[in-house]
Amino acid sequence: MIEENTKNIHFISNVGCGISFVFLVLTVILHVSFKNLRKLMTSKILVCLCISLAVSNLIFLVGMQEYATTKPAACKAVAALIHYFLMTSLMWMSVEVLHVCLAAVVVSQTVQRSFMIRSSILSWGLPMIIVTVTLAINYTNNYIRIEQTCWLSAGPFYTALVAPMGIILIFNIFIFSIDVWYLMTLETNKTFKLETKRTRILGIVGVFTYP
């Protein structure tokens, strides 16, 4: 019964990852094919995010099979790659949140170009450092086989994945809060200016209509 449930879960996971992979690839093709979309900063960030998610899905589909999970070296490689691309996906999600915030304030093309370069270095580079350190510590034994899957062992799971995820989540909430505060302030200022103009107009009208 347990084995049958495991097979069903594995099948559903493969189907879900396969569907996700197809639509992620289609999204990348769509944004790369059209020149107007290709130039947009939001499209560039979205393409990077979709590539990262698509590769992680592909590795899961190809790597989480019996021919890979039964070989220790292949299993460690699969676990490390999934860890890396999961982290890069989270980083690019943060870049999207940060870009939305900066786009409301900064419109300079030079600033936006430098933002994309720095974001790429950070989003692809920082996860590489985390995965490399995780591999180096304990002679790659931080990536292990758990039943029929290849993943992180208990300790590194919290230090190399959960902790960075928590930091990224807090960062996203913080940036989103700033963005909401800025938009609310902007709306309040617009309302205040509109009310001030209306008061001035009514004052002028009152002067001319006063008996």
Gap between the Cα atoms of 22 and 24, Å rounded: 6
Structural tokens at position 38: 């290709």
Ramachandran sector of residue 152 (left: φ over 0; alpha: ψ -120 to 50; beta: rest): beta
More confident position, 47 or 4: 47
pLDDT tens per residue, range 190-205: 554 544 544 443 333 3
pLDDT of residue 185: 80
Cβ atoms 142, 160 nearer than 8 A: yes
Mean per-residue pLDDT for 177-191?
A: 75
Using one digit for the tens of pLDDT, what is the confidence trace for 60-111?
999 988 888 889 999 999 999 999 999 999 999 999 988 888 877 665 555 6
Give 149: exposed, middle or buried? Use CB within 10 Å, 0-12, 13-18, 19+: middle
Beta-sheet pairing, 149-152 with 143-146? antiparallel
Residue ranges in the chain assigned as alpha helix (H): 2-33, 35-39, 41-63, 66-69, 72-103, 109-136, 154-157, 163-209
Each residue's pLDDT tens digit, 17-48: 999 999 999 999 999 999 888 888 899 999 99
Q: Within 13 A of 209's CA, how many CA atoms are on the CB side? A: 6
Quick count: other Cβ atoms within 10 Å of Cβ 123? 22
- DSSP assignment of 123-183 equals HHHHHHHHHHHHHHGGGGTTEEEETTEEEE-HHHHIIIIIHHHHHHHHHHHHHHHHHHHHH
pLDDT at 11: 87
* Bridge partners, 143 (sequence order): 152
Give ∠ CA 18-42-44 in degrees, rounded to 5: 65
How far is the C-alpha of 162 from the C-alpha of 3, rounded, in Å?
Answer: 29
Predicted TM-score (pTM) of this structure: 0.85
pLDDT for the residue 20: 97
Structure tokens at 31: 């944004």
According to DSSP, residue 54 is labeled H
